[in-house]
Structure 1
Amino acid sequence: MEWNTRSDGLAPPPLLDRARDALFLDFDGTLVPIAERPDAIAPDRLLPPLIARLRAALQGRVVIVSGRRISDLDHYLQSTGLLAAGLHGAEMRGTEPHEMHPDIHRALARARTDVSRNGGGLHIEDKGLAIALHFRARPELQVLAEKLAARAARESEGLLEVQPGNMVVELRPCGADKGSALQAFLKEPLFAGARPIFAGDDLTDEAGFDVARQAGGHGIIVGARQPTGAHYALPDPAAVHRWLIASLEDMTA
């Protein structure tokens, strides 16, 4: 089963170490291919049992770290107990959630009204504690999406920040990012002494790569996006699956 081909100059990652590794995985673009709309993804039917087997092999040290809601991850991965950080860390299961300012919902409501009125042509994804402005189907609307997000962040008086992504601009609570999510999990007893391995494809994952590196682990970029703080690379979600399966076979041999 081939997974260990180089991707854009970076070597493929080594197999997971059952004794010491903790695995942090992005979802869209890492475990499932990107779709034109967030609700149009088609996860491989073998993905949920693969994640379940990894959790068993790594003694529970598997976390999905995503911009999606945790309820969405539960649906697609057919699980209700999976450790997860949703909305870039604004939602957490398995550790303490990001502390929210009491006025965050008011700031989000103002932003929601503005982008709904002025974001014609954009696909606006309301995630509750975050708002994503997708322009994958209309790339010419990137400037509009960026302008609306920047204005909403400015008018939130420091409560919201802009997170650029792959054909999307997102508004999220300040301080809720994938790096802070990793830091929170690494403080939990389950992860004591573990080496964090973080795989992701987007700009939002760079904060996770940084924290993984600082904690003695490494990042894995999925795809050819450069520059990146990741040490290793895999070309696409299919290669991620092959690497995970090869790691499982090695850990359970």
Structure 2
Amino acid sequence: MNIIRFKEGLMEVLFPKVCVVCGHSLSTNENVICVECLHSKFEETVPNGSATSQGVLLPEGINLQHALWTFDKGGYLQDLLHQLKYHRITGVGEDIGRQLGKSMEANPLLEEFIHKERYLLPVPLHSKKRRIRGYNQAYYIAKGISHVIGGNIIPKKAVLRIKNTKTQTGFSLIKRRNNIENAFKVITQNMVKGKNIIIVDDVFTTGSTTFELASVLKASGCEKIAIVTIAQA
């Protein structure tokens, strides 16, 4: 036991844990982002009792859309999401997922999803992108949420992304819709039918991706759908 503690202490001296946002040392209760940054570096979106963020229109069949922070192009949040998405710092996803879970608990409109049986569905990646990246960043956000509100994460093989879509950055709304059309397929019907499902993603921009996924879920008999994301662009 003493040897293990010595090794842990040595690793802490040689490779101290620091916050990925500010670079300051982390306490034993902090993972990869310090509490100070989680509460001060990002701008919260305020639902004000609305079922959506400001300016968002939901198609029929989606009950509500909830975002944690406002996207800051070129700022702390964009850099943080980039680290999660492309640099394999999956702990970022769990940390910000926990923050998202806490904000979901504070939103009274999400009560029926949080206090009843619910299922978390990370937006699926196409198999080719998953092989290149090695993981799905939305899964780690969902994992962080589940630590706070509970709920089951739907297995990745139950709902697939069958169309290897191009990145939608810079696309018009019409091009986004055409790009994502018929991109998803429910493989395991009983994981969806009659369930309340919370779709989880990193950024909500026009909603084209999550709306397309939601339409496939509804066609497979899903009961209620909520969309939650870290950022609202």
> Is the structural similarity TM-score above 0.5?
no
Work out which structure has the larger RCO, using CA pairs closer than 8 Å and 6 or more positions apart in sequence.
1
Give TM-score, length-normalised by structure 2: 0.35
Give TM-score, length-normalised by structure 1: 0.33
